[in-house]
A = this chain, B = another copy of it.
Amino acid sequence: MVKIPKSHPRYWSLYYREKVIEGMEKGMTAKAGLIAHGRGEAFDYLIGEKTIEPAERAMRAAVAKLLLAKHSVISVNGNVAALVPKETIELAKALNAKLEINLFYRTEERVKAIAKELRKYDPEIELLGINPTKRIPGLEHERGKVDENGIWKADVVLVPLEDGDRTEALVKMGKFVVTIDLNPLSRSARMADITVVDNIVRAYPRMTELAREMRDYSRGELMEIVKSYDNGETLSDVLRHIRGRLTRLAGEGVWRRKSLD
């Protein structure tokens, strides 16, 4: 891994970029995953590289829904395993959710590499998706494979950094779908029931905190949080947040400016 000085103004962005490259070198992350990470970086830059209020609101609703679920599943792909392997396990435990390795570009080698990475953090952790026998209707063969005891029978699924076609197909199956996506305009962001527009490296630790706090809420309280949540409003608020930042920069002018804030 390339050594980045901690004093670099974009240290964390460069650190996680290297993590994704490392994920590819470990055989977990697809080449297209690197490109997807770049898209995320750009949107994070526009958001301001922090968790904004509409994301916090979406996370609360998502955690409430996941705590209410009969059978919740968190999907893990190559980018997730590269960025937040330990945090994924912690979130699954806090939510009492199953973990399923589920890949857009599925190969047995990548599934094994991801399982190996996750087991570094908990050798005993149950991982679904190793031998998936069911298929999501409407998706071509390899991309539709899911685990009978995982996504197939889940009522609530958390599919972070997910492809739009797959998110939409899960919604059509009647699943309640939560996604994490930095692009508020992506098809995943538009199609999910709850969209957390945030960087997964910030969102997962925060969702784990929320899960630990909200575990003691009554079902009525959790249901009220879900009921009062409006994903359309959240997405529009994210767009307005980005717009506000661009308005300020356009007004001030950016040409030959050394740094932006």
- Pick the residue among B34, B43, B191 that contacts A256 (CB under 8 A): B191
Stretch among A93-101, A121-129, A202-210, A228-236 lining the B interface:
A228-236
Stretch among A60-68, A153-161, A212-220, A241-249 lining the B interface:
A241-249
- Pick the residue among B34, B240, B254 that contacts A246 (CB under 8 A): B240
Chain B residues near A46 (CB-CB < 8 A): 46, 185
State whether B190 touches A256 (Cβ < 8 A): yes
Rounded to whole angstroms, the CA-CA distance of A150 and B236 in the bound complex is 49
Q: Which of A190, A236, A240, A250 has the most CB of B within 10 A?
A: A250
A183 interface residue per 8 A CB criterion: yes
Stretch among A16-24, A69-77, A83-91 lining the B interface:
A16-24
State whether B250 touches A231 (Cβ < 8 A): no
State whether B42 touches A20 (Cβ < 8 A): no
How many copies of this protein are present in the complex? 2
State whether A38 touches B45 (Cβ < 8 A): no
Instruction: Classify the interface of chain A: helix, strand, loop or mixed.
Output: helix
Rounded to whole angstroms, the CA-CA distance of A235 and B254 in the bound complex is 7
Q: Binary interface profile of A, 30-56, with partner B (CB < 8 Å = 1, else 0)? A: 011011111111110110000000000
- Residues of A whose CB lies within 8 Å of any CB of B are 17, 20-21, 24, 31-32, 34-43, 45-46, 183-185, 189-191, 195, 231-232, 235-237, 239-240, 242-243, 246-247, 249-251, 253-257, 260
Contact sample, A vs B, 11 pairs, CB 8 Å cutoff: A20-B35, A24-B31, A34-B38, A36-B38, A39-B45, A184-B254, A191-B256, A195-B255, A236-B251, A239-B246, A243-B243
